[in-house]
Amino acid sequence: MNLKEIEAEKLWQILKSYKLIVEEIRIYQEIYDKIQAKIEAVQTPSAVRYDTEKVSGTPTPTDTIVNAYYSDQQDIEKPLNIARAQKAAIEELCSLCSEEAQAYIEDKFFHGRRWFEMEERYHYTAGAIRKRIFSELEYIVTINGYDYEKACRKHLREILSK
């Protein structure tokens, strides 16, 4: 195995991680949305009854609660944005491939098709499809000098600038 093959194998593994990253984004977004709902619930005005017994002690101000929720939200935003940048970098990697290889990559890694389904769909063996994807990855490593980490940083900057 040479260096070009090793780099292409790394890209293959990155493509394989796409579904996990999408799931990670979904989970972080769910947590973020739940926190946002709590913020909105706390900030919603409620009726106050003055004829009830006086509560002893100092109540926690709404601002303190909301600030705590905002802090929780910020803790979620960082890994959420990193996962979004990773997803965008993988999609960019796919876009650098030929149309044929893009279709294979999207079907296999983005949509989760099984090899036998792809064999039926494209009328090639799984090995031939795998080889075609792998040769595209080698080409990207050799000609384009694609750097996944650099692409992630670029997409993260774009996400943070919005």
- Using one digit for the tens of pLDDT, what is the confidence trace for 17-69? 999 999 999 999 999 999 999 888 877 665 455 555 554 445 457 777 878 88
pTM higher than 0.95, yes or no?
no
Looking at residue 52, its pLDDT comes to 52
Mean of per-residue pLDDT scores for the chain: 88
145: helix, strand or coil: coil
Q: Can you tell me which residue has the tokens 């946002």? A: 36
Looking at residue 57, its pLDDT comes to 47
The Cβ of residue 13 has, within 10 Å, a number of other Cβ atoms equal to 10
Rg value, the chain, Cα: 24
Q: Where are the domains of the chain?
A: 3-41+63-161
**Residue 2 in tokens:** 């040479």
Looking at residue 46, its pLDDT comes to 54
Higher pLDDT, 142 or 113: 113
Element holding 19 (H helix, E strand) = helix 18-43
- Using one digit for the tens of pLDDT, what is the confidence trace for 76-96? 999 999 999 999 999 999 999
CB 11, CB 146: distance < 8 Å: yes
If phi > 0 it is left, if psi is from -120 to 50 it is alpha, else beta; for residue 113 that is beta
How far is the C-alpha of 115 from the C-alpha of 141, rounded, in Å?
25
Strands (E), the chain: none
Mean of the pLDDT values across residues 152-160? 93
